[in-house]
Structure 1
């Protein structure tokens, strides 16, 4: 009987370990991983390789994050991600505009994280799903009446597979020193590059130069003109990669050895046979 109990305990322990989150280095900076390869193209329906995260650009400011263990999260969720019958485990939202949130998320979604609280008070999230930790850093946005809503936007940070992935949301200003410190080191960052409704391009480029994330993914671009203005403005500092894909897989081993802009093409999720 003792051996049966021991065997059960060993199986349970192995299962629990498989769901543990690899420690990230968001706050404590780590050395670059040796043997760097590069990014891999992917399909959102394929299994996610071990130690990797898949990022799929859906539309505007919405991205799908997928883990090897099957956790799914959608950023700046509007209620529509395409015709695929996917119910995410987590959705995050910001409310600067209706294209970043929905008042009626599907009640089947287990975790709905708004990036705002009562006016001017902000909100705090620290959702630990084992394989993925989701937290936020609040920033200010312009209010509907040309004023300022303090802490009305959230930069969401996803810590998964040793990576720190940040989504800047509808950022309207250069973060403060305290906000940069709270963010920590972001390996991957999704940044709005419209140059107007969020913040001027020179300011956003200043933010990205400060963050020095290994992968910078432009979002919230309304035309090839606005995207082009951003890539031209930053290409002297960081190389730009555009392969015409909507999804990539990234891991600590495949991070570029210098900050790189990776342009993804938005594509709604459809189920493929």
Structure 2
């Protein structure tokens, strides 16, 4: 599998059965044509209108099988107030090429036992840290709960320079 980072929570996961793009960034560029696009948070109308999806755009909880990619989507929130401050978030777990890849989106709270169980085994974890998402300590607790083999910190501060302290603190955890 080939993984490409576009910025913030936007990644491309390319496997032999197609291309998955998570959280396309904005309407300023043309998103790649994808077989599956996942949206962990509600997109702007401009972004949604520009999505080039050959198969399916996923916007919420459920279980899906598209082009030999198995997807589990779990409702979470972008804050620790059940979405009252920043709204909903969807965590996606993909089974691609025998690997379990978990994209936490802009998760803003610790996962509960039910959510951890629904996610299941994780080989590669994209974990947000800093900004309005998880603190380094909460990101570390989330990593401990999911026990991934590979961790990809996702810097969430508005400016790259502001993300470095949070990512550095997570690495030290």
Q: What TM bracket, shorter-length normalisation?
A: 0.7 to 0.9
CA distance in 2, matches of 1:205, 1:96: 26
Determine whether 1:62 maps to 2:10. Answer: yes
TM-score by structure 2 length?
0.82
Give the paired residue count. Answer: 168
The answer to which of 72-81 and 180-189 deviates more is: 72-81
Determine whether 1:104 maps to 2:49. Answer: yes
Equivalent residue runs for 1:1-273 within 5 Å: 53-69=1-17, 71-78=18-25, 86-95=32-41, 102-106=47-51, 108-115=53-60, 124-142=61-79, 147=84, 152-194=88-130, 196-221=131-156, 222-235=159-172, 237=173
Aligned residues of 1:189 and 1:213 also touching (Cα < 8 A): yes
Cα distance change on mapping 1:83 and 1:179 into 2, 3 Å? closer
1:137 is displaced (CA, Å) by 1.1
Aligned residues of 2:135 and 2:166 also touching (Cα < 8 A): no
Cα distance change on mapping 1:114 and 1:83 into 2, 3 Å? closer
Aligned residues of 2:40 and 2:91 also touching (Cα < 8 A): no
TM-score by structure 1 length?
0.54
Q: CA RMSD in A?
A: 2.8
Q: Which has the higher contact order (CA 8 A, sep 6+)?
A: 1
Could you say which structure has the higher strand fraction? 2
Gaps of 5+ in 1: 1-52, 116-123, 238-273
Structure possessing the higher radius of gyration over alpha carbons: 1
CA distance in 2, matches of 1:159, 1:210: 19
Aligned residues of 1:58 and 1:81 also touching (Cα < 8 A): no
Runs of 4+ in 1 over 3 A off after TM superposition: 78-84, 105-109
CA distance in 2, matches of 1:141, 1:73: 22
Cα distance change on mapping 1:176 and 1:81 into 2, 3 Å? farther
Gaps of 5+ in 2: none
